[in-house]
Amino acid sequence: MILTVTLNTSIDKLYLIDKNVPETVMRVREKHDSAGGKGLNVSRVAALLGEGVTAAGFVGGHNGQYLESLIREQNIHRAFTHVDHETRCCINCWDLSAGVSTEYLEPGAPVEKKDLERFFSDFDGLLPKADVVSVSGSLPKGAPADTYGEIIRRCRGNGVPVLVDTSGEALRAAVQAGPDLIKPNTDEIAQLLGEAPAGEDALIAAAVRLRAGGVSRAVVSLGAEGALMVCAEGVFKGRPPRITPKNTVGCGDSMIAGFAVGMARRLPPEETFRIALAVSAANALSLYTGDFAQEDYDRLYGQVTVEKLQ
């Protein structure tokens, strides 16, 4: 079972509009609601890949009830910690004429110490059944920067691998706790190491430094060019095939889901990397976030290349 953690959940609303024209009244052609927050995108993709998932995190109020109702996949078990505050909403306006989106992200409601204590009690009850834990997204207000670090320490104490996808001080604290995988971008690497790497060799060197600092596997996205992965088995570069994306929102979450699935299945790093790249590209071919068509994934999986550089 993959245990996903989304502390800053949201109801994600996708608005499809013909053309985004500022300072006018625009009518939405189609609306699609989904249970959101980066960890819930991971949950859906991992479930679509055939893994059993338990989704944990905070939900609250009427919005929280609606969010839970949106999780309809049979192999996702809902195990949220309920709070008094309303779960937030986030809106993605997709301009069909230009193929670009504008996102409006509400801040999450603050959580209290008692909420965090109840979450960790719930989490400790779920952890022994987990094959891998995936922690994603921003921290809600009121949660200490080391919250993800505490999750990592509990995972390590139980021998459960943990992946973390976050940013800022939460990422810095998580790295110090020694997660099994992180996926920083160039800006996040600069925040962690104090310098921005330029070029592939510098990115590899930065990932090697992160591994030396306690991260078991460091993955650096190269955008359409794929990604780099530095782990105990070596340095790998993965390349997806060229595609014309429909919506790139959620591709990073899909990649994390692919890594979580590969790790839950105890697959070799190269195979896990291939799954992650293929499902990330397949997500880009869907208009919806944290979603892909099985035929797209099957086709792209065979076209992904993974090369060992060192």
Percent of the residues in the chain that have a pLDDT greater than 70, as a whole number: 100
Which pLDDT does position 220 carry in this prediction? 93
Sign of CA dihedral 190, 194, 199, 203: negative
The whole-angstrom separation of Cα 201 and Cα 196 is 12
The whole-number average pLDDT for the span 186-214 is: 90
Q: Which pLDDT value is given to residue 108?
A: 85
Is residue 248 over pLDDT 90? no
CB 189 within 8 A of CB 220: yes
Q: What is the pLDDT of residues 74-130, one digit of tens each?
A: 899 999 999 999 999 999 998 999 888 899 999 888 999 999 999 999 999 999 999
Tally of structural domains, the chain: 1
Asked whether the predicted pLDDT for residue 160 surpasses 90, the reply is: yes
Q: Is 127 or 289 the better-scoring residue by pLDDT? A: 127
pTM of the complete model beyond 0.75 = yes
What pLDDT score does 187 carry? 87
Domain that holds residue 103: 2-308
Q: Is the pLDDT of residue 163 over 90?
A: yes
Neighbours of 198 (CB within 10 A): 9
Provide the CATH number for the domain around residue 290: 3.40.1190.20
19-51 per-position pLDDT tens digit: 989 899 989 999 999 999 999 999 999 999 999
The token pair that represents 213 in the structure block: 């600092």
5 CB-near residues (< 8 Å, 6+ apart): 39, 56, 57, 123, 133, 134, 135, 136, 151
Res. 207: pLDDT tops 90: yes
Give 174's pLDDT tier (boundaries 50, 70, 90): very high
Tokens 């060992």 identify what position? Answer: 308
* H-helix segments, 127-185: 147-157, 168-177
114's CB contacts (< 8 A; 6+ apart) are: none
Report residue 225's pLDDT band, with 50, 70 and 90 as the boundaries. confident
What is the C-alpha separation between 84 and 111, in angstroms, rounded? 9
* 198 has pLDDT over 90: no
**Percent of residues, the chain, with pLDDT higher than 90:** 84
Residue 196 pLDDT class (50, 70, 90 cuts) = confident
Radius of gyration, CA atoms only, the chain: 19
| Calpha distance 242→117 (Å, rounded) | 46
Please state whether beta strands 162-165 and 227-231 pair in parallel, antiparallel, or not at all (unpaired). Answer: unpaired
pLDDT at 109: 87
Sorting pLDDT into bands at 50, 70 and 90, what band is 205?
very high
Return the biggest CA–CA distance within the chain: 55
Q: How confident is the model at residue 295 (pLDDT cuts 50, 70, 90)?
A: very high
**pLDDT at 149 > cutoff 90:** yes
Choose among 144, 145, 156: nearest CA to 191. 145
Q: Look at strands 227-231 and 217-221 and give their pairing.
A: antiparallel
Q: Which tokens go with 212?
A: 């030396």
What does pLDDT average to over the chain? Answer: 94
Tell me what pLDDT residue 3 has. Answer: 98
Distance CA 51, CA 304 (A): 21
What is the reported pLDDT for 13? Answer: 95
Q: Quick one: pLDDT at residue 261?
A: 98
pLDDT of res. 56: 98
* Secondary structure (3-state) at 221: strand
